Amino acid sequence: MSEAFHCAHETATGHRLARDIELVNLRVSSRAPAPLIRLERHQPLAAEKPQAAYVPQLQGTVPVFRRQALTPAQSVAGPALVLDEAATVWVAGGWLAALDDWGNLILTSRH
């Protein structure tokens, strides 16, 4: 490895270093077959009527949906909020939010 480095360095710079080399960083990658993971389809909670939240910048309220209660057939038009256990998603005006069959929230511009 040392000789290969010195040759490459000499080719790139036109001179050879008269010293030992030191590996500071080493990148290794590995691949192996993995079992196929079967994802469970989203099972919505019982249907809920959306709540409302006041948004000062809009000087009005927007609907608030719980992500767990949304169905894949349902879409949410912005402005709106979608809440889940880990995040709050702002759906801006001109955007739609919808769940896919596995519960991923997909945002799409209506423009």
Q: What tens-digit pLDDT sequence spans the chain (111 residues)? A: 788 888 998 999 999 888 888 888 888 999 999 999 998 999 988 888 899 999 999 999 999 999 999 998 899 999 999 999 999 999 999 999 999 999 999 999 998
Looking at residue 13, its pLDDT comes to 92
Q: Is 52 in contact with 63 (CB distance < 8 Å)?
A: yes
Check residue 55 and give its pLDDT.
94
What per-residue confidence (pLDDT) applies to 98? 95
> Is there a contact between 60 and 85 (Cβ–Cβ < 8 Å)?
no
- For residue 68, the model assigns a pLDDT of 92
Tell me the C-alpha distance between 84 and 70, whole Å. Answer: 11
How many residues are recorded in the chain? 111
- DSSP assignments along 9-44, one per residue: HHHHHSS---S---------------PPP-PPPP--
